Amino acid sequence: MNEVEIKLRKNILAKNEEIAAHLRELFAQHRLMVINMLSSPGSGKTTLLEKTARAVGHTLAIAVIAGDLQTERDAIRIRNAGAAATQINTGRGCHLSARMVADALPNVDLDAADVLFIENVGNLVCPASYDLGEDLAVVLASVTEGDDKPAKYPTAIHKADLIVLNKIDLAPYTNFSAERFRLDVRKIKPTLDVLEISCTQGAGLQSWFEWLKTKVEQKQALH
């Protein structure tokens, strides 16, 4: 008797993609710019969101969904900076999914916000594979992580619409090479911009604010 091998293939992310598509339609109806922020732990996502809320919160209404395994500390920091924030705790989960975002939306006033940041769980692996219905993805890297992150985590670089390189004020105290970092980014995605900033010193933040305002205006002009 001849044996027949049958291979079954199923997109394990199909349900996530279906929910993400519905989220994208919902966000478009509300003329809401949605930015998925990815980074390793400690790169400075929450600090950047605090700085952003304080600097442009009077002209852009900012809402944040903050993802973490435990605690509400990031959401509290962001609220203290003047932005609306909802916390998602994933327990042992290493990423946010479209279902998690959908479940958190009843706590978000979509009509009151111009931009919604989804602060993903600190991890450059799993979050890069999950569509959350966002318009744009921003990968935040930092000098203290080393300059090899683009080469090590190319999926996150492919997903990104902007790379923000934080903690450049610490470069003199490390062996970080901005040239190597940018070269690896260009090898993976040649058109991708790298914006250098220091959240603590303020360097480059104005360029970040201007980029954000431009993207929100472009989204709102479409609807």
What is the domain-level CATH number for residue 136? 3.40.50.300
Q: Are 40 and 123 in contact (CB under 8 A)?
A: yes
For 52-88, write each residue's pLDDT tens digit: 999 999 999 999 999 999 999 999 999 999 999 999 9
Instruction: Indicate the number of domains in the chain.
Output: 1
Is 1 domain-assigned? Answer: no
Name the pairing type of β-strands 62-68 and 194-196: unpaired
Is 223 domain-assigned? Answer: no
pLDDT of residue 8: 46
pLDDT of residue 13: 87
Is 199 domain-assigned? Answer: yes
Is 163 domain-assigned? Answer: yes
Range of the domain at 149: 14-215
pLDDT of residue 4: 59
The distance of Cα 175 from the centroid of its chain, to the nearest Å, equals 26
Residues of the chain with pLDDT under 70: 1-10, 12, 223
Is 5 domain-assigned? Answer: no
Where are any strands of DSSP class E within the chain? 33-39, 62-68, 84-89, 115-119, 136-142, 162-166, 194-196
Q: Per the structure block, which two tokens stand in for 34?
A: 């949605």
Looking at residue 4, its amino acid is V
